Structure 1
Amino acid sequence: MTVPESVMAELRTAAAAAEDKMATEILGLDVQERLGITDAFLICSAPSERQIGSVVEEVELRLKEEHGSVPLRREGRHSGTWVLLDYGHMVIHVQHEQERVLYGLDRLYADVPRLDLHS
């Protein structure tokens, strides 16, 4: 299976928003066959709590403006080190650089297809 084009469009918007706010290591993953509850993950990093907040705000704003999408739930907003935005069809993880290394989502999902976020 491949990620639906409508989801890819939203992932690309979210990735561009994250990049505009200087997020690093932006990665899209096709997790639908592995998880079955969502189509894709977007994972990105930032070096500070303030920048994580800025990335999250921009991603939410752009997805709402351009696609009418709002998260079904948000987790970690107040922790500042890992914010998860669950849109149902995709989940966005904005992690502090150290949290990303510690929890290793990249390693946990190393066997799933990577998504082209720049097409």
Structure 2
Amino acid sequence: MTVPENILSWVRVAGQAAADKLGSNIVAFDVSEMLSITDIFLIASAGNERQVGAIVDGVEEALLKVGVKPTRREGDRENRWVLLDYLDFVVHVQHDEERTLYNLERLWSDCPQIELNLDLPPAEEA
């Protein structure tokens, strides 16, 4: 199954918004062949709960600007793993510890990874 271009563009908007809020390890998987409930999982990490919240807010704001609203938002009470469900795609923003523990990349490794072409901020020099 091929994911429609409009959904891919929304996922790229969400990915860029996560990158703009300094989200790390941002990846997207085409899960359309494995799941009937959604087409794409976008996953991003953050080093602390405040940053998880900032990334989630940034993704929501960016997608609202292009007319896309989530149907569901879960996990924002603790900001360790927040899920934004847009029906055709799901955004997972995870604290680094949850990302390591649940390892969604391993779970979905059989699914094609989607090239996001993000404009990443320059790496900080030590």
**TM-score (structure 2 length as normaliser):** 0.91
Structure 2 segments unaligned to the other structure (5+ residues) = 119-126
| CA apart distance, 1:81 | 0.3
The structure with more radius of gyration: 2
Distance across 2 between alignment mates of 1:110 and 1:81: 23
Q: Provide Cα deviations, 1:8-60, integer angstroms capped at 9, x if missing partner.
A: 00000000000000000000100011011101010000000000000000000
Q: Which has the higher helix share?
A: 1
1:5 corresponds to which letter in structure 2?
E
Distance across 2 between alignment mates of 1:79 and 1:2: 35
In structure 2, what is the equivalent of residue 19 of structure 1? 19
2:69 corresponds to which letter in structure 1?
V
2:60 corresponds to which letter in structure 1?
E
In structure 2, what is the equivalent of residue 52 of structure 1? 52
1:86 corresponds to which letter in structure 2?
D
Distance across 2 between alignment mates of 1:62 and 1:28: 17
State percent identity of aligned pairs. 50
Distance across 2 between alignment mates of 1:93 and 1:30: 14
Distance across 2 between alignment mates of 1:96 and 1:103: 11
In structure 1, what is the equivalent of residue 29 of structure 2? 29
Distance across 2 between alignment mates of 1:18 and 1:92: 10
When the two structures are aligned, how many residues end up with a matched partner? Answer: 118
Tell me the C-alpha RMSD between the 2 structures.
0.9
2:27 corresponds to which letter in structure 1?
L
Structure 1 runs of 4+ aligned residues shifted over 3 Å read none
Distance across 2 between alignment mates of 1:54 and 1:88: 22
- After TM superposition, the structure 1 = structure 2 runs for residues 1-119 of structure 1, keeping only pairs within 5 Å, are 1-66=1-66, 68-118=67-117
In structure 1, what is the equivalent of residue 123 of structure 2? none
Distance across 2 between alignment mates of 1:95 and 1:26: 10
Structure 1 segments unaligned to the other structure (5+ residues) = none
**TM-score (structure 1 length as normaliser):** 0.97
